[in-house]
Homo-oligomer: A and B are copies of this chain.
Amino acid sequence: MFRFEVIRRDAGSSARAGLLETAHGTVETPAFMPVGTQGSVKSLTPEELEACGVQILLGNTYHLHLRPGEEVIGRFGGLHRFMGWRRPLLTDSGGFQIFSLAALARVTEEGVAFRSHLDGSERRLTPERAVEIQLALGADILMCLDRVAGWPAPAAEFEAAERQTLRWAERCRRRWRESGEAGTRALFGIVQGGMDPALRRRSAEDLAALDFSGYAVGGLSVGEPLELMLAAAAGTLPFLPPEKPRYVMGVGRPEDLLDLICLGADLFDCVLPTRNARHGKLFTSRGTVQVTHAAWRTEEGPPDPECRCYTCRRYSLAYLRHLFLSRELLAYRLNSLHNVHYFIHLVRSAREAILAGTFADFRNRFYRRREI
């Protein structure tokens, strides 16, 4: 029930187009996953996501474990039925949110003890529990619990995090295999190693030896400068098994996605399209449009004349500006729909260009349009 196949490789880069088959359907890669943090991609329905061409969503284990709890979602047979999403789902392990949101996280070899950001209650997460929770959530793709070190930190801390991530990955793998669901649901290992290429390479190679269903580049977007982030990804991707899917976690801007596709990445997730939408920032073929700009007061055209999303087909910038300034709920919704559509369309267009052998042209056109 889980299978990945590269169907075309780009001649001029490491970009590739693939098919990722899961129990809930096939994902055409490269693919962008919108983030359904608390069991909802903020403001949007499953039907709207499907209409945008979304093929796979990400759910956050940390948030769903705290509220409503995996035992509630488990009663519905998993997150798919609970939230009404029929296509594939990937869940993260909760590790990243514990480090970024929870208070007083204490890491031991056994796992992490932390306090809920919602009510301060004491919680514990081990590699085994992370897998169990994700199984209860019914994810098609589970992620290993990893240990994230923030940027900057001493080299020893990145190395310790990398080693512990590897040991936890083995424990996650064992629990996943024991569950009897390893044939139905995939488990991905996560590369750590900070911004040190040697550490990243060792992490990638040691994880590869454990033979996961796929691999993720983790530990990015933790405060490091953008160049370091891309360098860390570039120093990781070549050392991941080429026949397995590669997922770059939590990145990023449209230009970053294209760079990472060039480096051979297959999967992405990021809150940028929905978060920026709620701040009135729209991604367009000509760059970012701030919807509050006074120039749009009477603008009858849509945010992006090249875009075919519902928002651009139906509404003017003047109306979107008015809704946003009036703090109307519809503003966040129409902006989110547009931005998700933009990201999905961008990555799908990149895929089509890879398949057509025109990916270099596609990238050049992307950058040229932004310079207008």
Which of A's residues lie within 8 Å of B, judged by CB?
Answer: 38-40, 42-45, 63, 67-68, 72, 75-76, 82-84, 297-298, 300, 314-316, 318-319, 321-323, 325-326, 328-330, 332-333
Contact = CB atoms under 8 A, between A and B. Distances in A.
A328 B42 contact: yes
Contacts of A316: 76, 82
A44 B332 contact: no
A248 to B, nearest CB: 26
B43 A325 contact: no
Given A82-B319, A319-B82, A322-B68, A43 B329 contact: yes
How many monomers of this protein are in the complex?
2
B300 A45 contact: no
B67 A322 contact: yes
Given A298-B75, A300-B76, A68 B329 contact: no
B300 A333 contact: no
A330 B316 CA distance: 23
A38 B326 contact: yes
B326 A67 contact: yes
A42 B330 contact: yes
A84 B322 contact: no
A299 to B, nearest CB: 10
A45 B329 CA distance: 10
15 contacts: A39-B319, A39-B323, A42-B329, A43-B329, A44-B330, A67-B322, A72-B322, A75-B298, A75-B300, A76-B300, A76-B316, A82-B316, A84-B315, A329-B329, A329-B332
A335 to B, nearest CB: 11
A89 B326 CA distance: 20
Contacts of A321: 68
Which one of A300, A316, A329 has the highest number of Cβ atoms from chain B below 10 Å of its Cβ?
A329
A45 B333 CA distance: 10
A258 B316 CA distance: 39
Contacts of A333: 43, 45, 329, 333
Contacts of A319: 39, 82-84
A146 to B, nearest CB: 25
B76 A328 contact: no
Given A67-B326, A325-B67, A318 B72 contact: yes
A38 B84 contact: no
Nearest to A321: B68
A333 B43 CA distance: 8
A300 B76 CA distance: 8
Contacts of A63: 326
A318 B298 CA distance: 43
Contacts of A82: 316, 318-319, 322
Given A39-B323, A67-B322, 19 more contacts: A38-B322, A38-B323, A38-B328, A40-B326, A42-B329, A42-B330, A43-B328, A43-B330, A44-B330, A68-B318, A68-B322, A68-B325, A72-B322, A75-B300, A82-B318, A82-B319, A84-B314, A84-B319, A329-B332
Contacts of A300: 75-76
Which one of A84, A332, A333 has the highest number of Cβ atoms from chain B below 10 Å of its Cβ?
A333
Contacts of A318: 68, 72, 75-76, 82
A76 B44 CA distance: 28
Which one of A44, A63, A67, A75 has the highest number of Cβ atoms from chain B below 10 Å of its Cβ?
A75
Contacts of A39: 319, 322-323, 326, 328
